[in-house]
Amino acid sequence: MSVIIWHNPKCGTSRNTLAMIRATGVEPVIVEYLQTPPDAATLSRVAAVVGGAAALLRTKGTPAEELGLAGADDATILAAMAVHPILINRPVVITPKGTVLARPSEKVFAILDAALPADFTKEDGEVVHRA
């Protein structure tokens, strides 16, 4: 299994996470989940690992409020995500070592085999120090 990132190129956190993965020498499989949404079973598995569907739910800039998803059960949230992939928070990174919602982007290092070879500067100028 390779490294997979559910990516939105318009999201700074997603771009930073992708760049951090690449900085470790890995070229991940990039899934632009808005164009190619995960199936219901995959969504369910990922939600279970990251703390439930509510943890995977993106509310900012989405129809979550209009759909009444605040406080909804996992099945309702996951069904809404299947219809409206913009509701899926990002970036999700899946590796043989585990799955994370990489918010903040540094969370990705917990599931990568390699560390940063040098300090990394995010788009906003924040420096992530090599471990």
Task: Please report which helix (H) or strand (E) contains residue 14, including its range.
Answer: helix 12-23
CA-closest candidate to residue 28, choices 99, 87, 88? 99
d(CA 32, CA 4): 10
21 is catalytic: no
Name the catalytic one among 2, 4, 8, 11. Answer: 11
Let me know: does 83 contact 63? Beta carbons within 8 Å: no
Active site residues: 11
